[in-house]
């Protein structure tokens, strides 16, 4: 399909049109793969930050130590200190 359109639009032979269409398809596939790899990388980075304990967080621990089984969420919401 693309080859015929390229032939008509640019007045080139089928072999040239086929070559251009194949190269365009390869570039498109590479871009799709790169996008998927980047999305996967960002997703994995997000997961690693979510699973990092606050003590290992390079910005420090904004929550006080939790004592007596109180959840971190509760302690961080109700800390007055």
SS (H, E, C) 18-34: HHHHHHHHHHHHHHHHH
In the prediction, which pLDDT does 50 show?
A: 80
In the prediction, which pLDDT does 33 show?
A: 96
In the prediction, which pLDDT does 81 show?
A: 45
The Cα–Cα gap between 20 and 18 comes to 5
Q: What is the pLDDT tens value at each position of the chain, 81 positions in all? A: 888 888 888 888 988 989 999 999 999 999 999 999 999 999 998 888 886 565 555 555 555 555 555 455 544 554 444
């Amino acid at each position: 399909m693309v080859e015929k359109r390229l032939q008509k639009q640019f007045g080139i032979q089928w072999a040239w049109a086929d070559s251009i269409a194949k190269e365009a398809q390869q570039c498109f596939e590479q871009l799709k793969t790169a996008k998927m790899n980047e999305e996967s990388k960002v997703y994995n980075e997000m997961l690693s930050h979510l699973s990092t304990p606050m003590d290992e967080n390079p910005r420090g621990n904004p929550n006080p130590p939790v004592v007596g089984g109180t959840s971190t969420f509760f302690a961080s919401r109700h800390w007055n200190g």
